Amino acid sequence: MGKLFAGPWSDFQGKVGNNVGRYVKGVNVLAVKPHKSNKPATAHQLNQQDVFGRINSIVTHFDEPIEAGFRKRSFRKTARIAAVEYNLEKAVTGISPNREINYPMLTFSLGKLPGAQLLKVINSLDDPDYLSFTWKKDINDSLAKDTDVISFMIHCPVLNRNTGLLKAFKRSELKCDFPIPFIFSGQQIECYAFFTAADGNQVSDSQYVGTLLKA
């Protein structure tokens, strides 16, 4: 169902019949609904589809930080779409059909909470099925509360699979050990983290912790 915002000549979003309305770069666009082509996809199209699909899968693994971090950027679109568009612009390199994801630039949340200092990840020394994260607290930043909770996002490019841990440890604990699925064993993984305030209303920018060969 389409939505008409203010009279017959105003902005229009959604689908009515054979017409689709959407908001693109500040301009309201009304177009004929696209039809599936019978032509084989080109290398450029396949590359575009692959990059878009991976970005969409990765950045929306956790809906909560996406909503908190991107809702202010989501004028007339969802926070999820805003996050995908942001990462397609900031975290993709190369020229099609050779565009690739720049994993250190991926962003899952944007916010005013302080991040973690000296955030690191290693394979746990106690159990190879676990990852071990450590960090330091910025004692000079009054916005860094002991009650803030940390979340982790793990992505495996080869498997195109995600896992993670949402809001399980407090900032004050300075360490977190948690297991990840056996399927990630022997694979290169990309690791990220971000903080959420205890009331859930604020998040930090997500931080790239690094790449790691999972034991």
By residue range, what is the domain housing residue 188? Answer: 117-213
Q: Over the chain, what is the mean pLDDT? A: 85
CB 59, CB 70: distance < 8 Å: no
User: In this predicted model, what pLDDT tens digit does every residue of 53-101 receive, in sequence order?
Assistant: 888 888 878 787 788 878 877 667 888 888 999 999 999 999 888 889 9
Count of Cβ atoms closer than 10 Å to residue 99 Cβ: 17
Residue 7: HSE in the Cβ half-sphere, 13 Å Cα cutoff: 2
H-helix or E-strand containing 189? strand 188-196
Least confident of 34-43, 107-116, 198-207: 34-43
| Burial of 196 per CB tally in 10 Å (0-12, 13-18, 19+) | buried
Half-sphere exposure of 166 (CA within 13 A, CB side): 11
What is the reported pLDDT for 24? 62
37 within a domain of the structure (yes/no): no
Encoded tokens for 4: 């008409």
Q: Is residue 32 part of a domain?
A: no
For residues 101 and 162, membership in a common domain is answered with no
Does residue 106 contact residue 207 with C-beta atoms inside 8 Å? no
The residue-averaged pLDDT of 34-40 equals 69
pTM comes to 0.79
Residue 128: phi, psi to the nearest 5? -65, -15
Residue found by looking up tokens 């099925």 in the block = 129
Is residue 176 one of the residues assigned to a domain? yes
Give residue-wise pLDDT tens across range 164-184. Answer: 999 989 999 999 999 999 999
CA distances, 142 to each of 83, 106, 197 (Å): 28, 27, 13
- Whether 143 maps to a domain, the answer reads yes
Asked if 137 and 207 sit in the same domain, the reply is yes
DSSP SS3 for 58: helix
- Residue 7 makes CB contacts below 8 A (sequence gap 6+) with none
How many domains, in total, are found in the chain? Answer: 2
CATH code of 167's domain: 2.60.40.10
Triad 146, 203, 134: Cα angle to 5°: 50
Q: What is the mean pLDDT of the segment spanning 139-149? A: 91
Note the pLDDT of residue 32: 64
Task: Answer whether 197's CB lies under 8 Å from 145's CB.
Answer: yes
Last residue of some domain: 60, 75, 105? 105
Q: For tokens 């202010």, name the residue.
A: 72
What pLDDT sits at residue 23?
60
- The mean pLDDT of 133-140, rounded to a whole number, is 89
